[in-house]
A and B are shown apart, each in its own frame.
Chain A
Amino acid sequence: MHREALAGNPNPSRHLQALHFLGALARINKLRARKSPPSRRATALGGRRITRAAYAAMAVAAGPRRAWSRAILLGLRRNSIAKPFLIKKRILKPHRELRDVGSRAEELRRLLPGARRMEFGSLLDETLNYIHHLTAQVGIMQKIADSLCK
């Protein structure tokens, strides 16, 4: 879980994540450039392509040892847009009475890619790592958006 820290350098995976994402972004930009004036549909699809690139970058940086990153990489390889986090849909709220740890853990299992039948301890471990890469990705994208705004 803290392999990077053990290696004495917490940064490698974050750099890898940023580089991978930037590369994907440059490719998406090239694809966009080839088409004639962008339609509204094209820009909506562009957003989805960028979302896919974001999760791909996270998964590559996390490596194949995580169930969530494997699930993402497999989903992308099948060229299917993984449903839980790439298609905007209303997430049904759990029934008010079911607020115990069990049902919360189930909710977490639905949120985390590849976690459907995961045992509780692994679930927490995966969650920590997933949040780590998610926050990194948000930071990367904010920086890029800021620099594109200048």
Chain B
Amino acid sequence: MSSAWTGRARATDDDIKELVAKLQSLLPEARRRSSGRTSAAKLLKETCSYIKSLQREVDDLSDRLSDLISAMDDNSAQAEIIRSLLS
């Protein structure tokens, strides 16, 4: 990526192609279209739904962690949290 990028210069077509390719490789296998000629619109649609599912996962995990933490007594919860830090 050119250094002009940090100055928020308008992206060139090549920049955008590169970004689209990176985005495509970032999506998990199940969401990737097998054909090489994915339309940009489809890619963006998959990206949006991927982000939404990730955000939902964060939400669900937050609830789960909240339940797990409140189910433990104070000392062991603190210890477990710190233990995760070390592992």
Residues of chain A whose beta carbon lies under 8 Å from any beta carbon of chain B: 1-2, 18-19, 22, 25-26, 28-30, 32-33, 38, 42-43, 46-51, 54-55, 65, 85, 88, 91, 99-101, 104-105, 107-108, 111-112, 119-122, 124-125, 127-128, 130-132, 134-135, 137-138, 141-145, 147-149
Contacts and interface: CB of A to CB of B under 8 A. Distances in A.
Nearest to B68: A148
A122 B11 contact: yes
B10 to A, nearest CB: 6
> In terms of DSSP, what is the predominant structure of the interface of chain B?
helix
A137 B81 CA distance: 16
Q: Report the 9 A-B pairs with minimum CB-CB distance, sorted nearest first.
A: A121-B11, A104-B44, A46-B66, A124-B19, A50-B62, A141-B61, A47-B63, A47-B66, A33-B74
B66 A50 contact: yes
Nearest to B80: A148
Per DSSP, chain A at the interface is helix
Nearest to B26: A131
Given A26-B82, A100-B41, A131-B51, A51 B19 contact: no
A19 B86 CA distance: 10
B68 A149 contact: yes
Contacts of A143: 84, 87
Contacts of B59: 47, 51, 88
B51 A104 contact: no
A91 B58 CA distance: 17
B41 A99 contact: yes
Most buried by B among A26, A121, A135, A141: A121
Contacts of A91: 52
B16 A28 contact: no
A37 B24 CA distance: 48
A91 to B, nearest CB: 7
B43 to A, nearest CB: 8
B70 A19 contact: no
Contacts of B68: 145, 148-149
